[in-house]
Amino acid sequence: EAQVTQNPRYLITVTGKKLTVTCSQNMNHEYMSWYRQDPGLGLRQIYYSMNVEVTDKGDVPEGYKVSRKEKRNFPLILESPSPNQTSLYFCASSLVAPGTIDYEQYFGPGTRLTVT
Amino acid sequence: GQNIDQPTEMTATEGAIVQINCTYQTSGFNGLFWYQQHAGEAPTFLSYNVLDGLEEKGRFSSFLSRSKGYSYLLLKELQMKDSASYLCAVRDIGNRDDKIIFGKGTRLHILP
């Protein structure tokens, strides 16, 4: 089954304790992206990657890191989480970069993160 | 700057037709997307427009006018399961970046 998986689905942590949210897709997609979703603010892009070893900042990259060492995985790293990073996080992937033909972006199920 | 506007909430009746509008201002427009998101779930892709005109996909249609910075999503024969948030998103390509910007979403309530 074609899918995007994220782990963990729920996480409560404390300020300053490094954490990683994993994202994996089994569709051989080149383009992967991380978003956060907050009430009243909608979805905002954190980082994206057009292919292996190619990553770029989205709209709200501060406080986050990513890596793309292999095509299927795109982990999101919070080196020193703070309460303002409490949010719902979505990973997404697509076969080609958005805006080209045959574009369709698949989202993972989401990770609800609480930083106290 | 970048800006995407869509109504916060709309209400419609089962079996009816509803149109959700989206206006945008971006410097490097390269495609507009519509997503559906049920409460507590991930967004699911509905449509993608990069050229002017209407794209039809079953009960859903999406329209784009690039000169007006305007799009709409048309939902026909509304069903209760269409109660969800509908997200408008734009691909914005700049000198050094290639971002996807989402509107805040329109929450659609379907009444029986």
- The answer to whether the bond into A8 is cis (omega within 30° of 0) is yes
Contact by Cβ (8 Å): A94, A103: yes
C-alpha distance from B93 to closest chain A C-alpha (Å) = 10
Contact by Cβ (8 Å): B74, B62: yes
The residue length of chain A stands at 116
- Report the residue of chain B nearest A42, measured CA to CA: B104
Give CA–CA dist A45/B2, Å, rounded: 13
Nearest partner of B107 among A42, A76, A70, A111, judged by Cα: A42
Q: How many residue pairs bridge chain A and chain B with CB atoms within 8 Å of each other?
A: 58
* pLDDT at residue B37 greater than cutoff 60: yes
Using the CB atoms, write b or e for B11-22: b if 16+ within 10 Å.
ebeeeeebebeb
Q: How confident is the model at residue B30 (pLDDT cuts 50, 70, 90)?
A: confident
Q: List the end-to-end C-alpha distance of chain A, in Å, as a whole number.
A: 36
Residues B48-59: what's their mean pLDDT? 92
Contact by Cβ (8 Å): B18, B10: yes
CB nearest B91 (choices: A50, A59, A99) = A99
Strand partners, A111: A89
Q: Judged by CB atoms within 8 Å, which residues 50-109 of A form the interface with B? A: 50, 56-59, 90, 97-99, 103-109
* pLDDT at residue B2 greater than cutoff 90: no
Residue B66: what residue type? Answer: R
Percent of chain B exceeding pLDDT 90 equals 79
Q: What is the pLDDT of residues A10-33, one digit of tens each?
A: 999 999 999 999 999 999 999 999
| Secondary structure, 3-state, A39-72 | CCCEEEEEEEEEECCEEEECCCCCCCEECCCCCC
Strand partners, A99: none
Interstrand relation of A10-13 and A111-115 (parallel, antiparallel or unpaired): parallel
CB nearest A98 (choices: B31, B43, B105) = B31
* pLDDT at residue B95 greater than cutoff 80: no
Query: What integer pLDDT is reported at residue A94 of this predicted model?
Result: 87
Q: How confident is the model at residue A97 (pLDDT cuts 50, 70, 90)?
A: low
Query: What integer pLDDT is reported at residue B19 of this predicted model?
Result: 98
Give CA–CA dist B30/B26, Å, rounded: 9
Q: Mutate one of B100, B101, B102, B106 to test the A interface: name it (highest A CB count within 10 A).
A: B100
Q: What is the pLDDT of residues A53-91, one digit of tens each?
A: 999 999 899 999 999 999 999 999 999 999 999 999 999
Q: What is the pLDDT of residues B77-91, one digit of tens each?
A: 999 999 999 999 998
Q: List the end-to-end C-alpha distance of chain B, in Å, as a whole number.
A: 41
Query: What integer pLDDT is reported at residue B93 of this predicted model?
Result: 83
CB nearest B100 (choices: A33, A104, A108) = A33
Instruction: In chain B, count H helices and then E strands.
Output: 0, 11
